[in-house]
A = this chain, B = another copy of it.
């Protein structure tokens, strides 16, 4: 099947490669010619001209956008006038599902079809395959299924879910790693929540490992002053844990084994003190949108919210609030702030 790909950053480039390996015919477009060279050598047609790109695609065209969310509307404004009735535009980036709903309607008024695809898998997707969460019209999604099947991991070596195996379910693609989740926006909605969960999982591991790292607190000397809570049982905190080994052992047989743990074990083995990081953690939108959706729905998300807020806090955004706390303490109790220990 033929697919046009716009946007050849790491994700778009890897996905094009995976598609071609699975025998699909790819036409690529990027404003930077050099980002297409490798793909052209592997057999893709490439052009820096959007018009030529469109002309190279057979109708009904299928155009996949793999772009930063902030530029999708700009590119659509140029692309849509070049397309013909029944052409399909797929947004595989990290768009807000609100925008998908709007765009679905706008493209429909031009006789075009819009499909939103939440894509998970990161830099490993090229080899491992991408988990695809898809929103749009049913028949259009079905039409594109060869593309989705090629990008997705397939059944692979992930064990079959027992209860699912016992019941017939011929048409279902969930166990191949791609799924039509619902109408416009459904794909990015599910991807958004996926990322919200991801924040929670990541925080759970990192908090737990931080407890292990500080299990030696009874071995450290402590200042005795009115501003420091004394450790009541230093004998309970005499452990020097080897975090890389602990992350590794949890990978086999434990209840908390996961792909994120696999990655954590790798990162810790490479650099046990994680000295190359400052600990300023970015958030790229989906975590925020997840919590906002939960608030709209009045669904409690204490864990997902806390995970999001830890990231805000990691970037110093709680500093003013903390100063207010110190100011209050001085006001009512005459407490003077204790400076950071010299490291």
Contact = CB atoms under 8 A, between A and B. Distances in A.
A177 interface: yes
Interface in A98-136: 98, 101, 120-125, 128-133
Interface stretch (A43-51, A81-89, A139-147, A288-296): A288-296
Contacts of A231: 296
Given A200-B303, A253-B130, A323 B211 contact: no
Interface string A264-308: 111111110010011111111100101111111111111111111
A16 to B, nearest CB: 17
Contact of A193 (B175, B208, B303, B319): B208
B204 A253 contact: no
A40 interface: no
Q: Which 5 A-B residue pairs are closest in the complex by CB-CB distance?
A: A200-B204, A258-B258, A279-B322, A177-B252, A131-B254
B239 A183 contact: yes
20 contacts: A128-B253, A155-B252, A158-B257, A179-B245, A179-B246, A183-B239, A201-B201, A204-B204, A204-B307, A207-B301, A209-B324, A210-B321, A260-B332, A264-B328, A279-B322, A279-B326, A280-B322, A282-B338, A302-B306, A305-B306
Given A193-B208, A294-B211, A303-B307, A340 B325 contact: no
Chain A interface mostly: helix
A69 B228 CA distance: 12
Given A162-B266, A172-B245, A323-B277, A255 B98 contact: no
A262 B161 contact: yes
Interface string A187-217: 0011001111111111111111111111101
A203 B210 CA distance: 19
Contact of A266 (B69, B238, B248, B331): B331
For chain A, the bracket of interface size reads: 35 or more
B133 A198 contact: no
Given A120-B255, A229-B288, A253-B129, A304 B207 contact: yes
A199 to B, nearest CB: 8
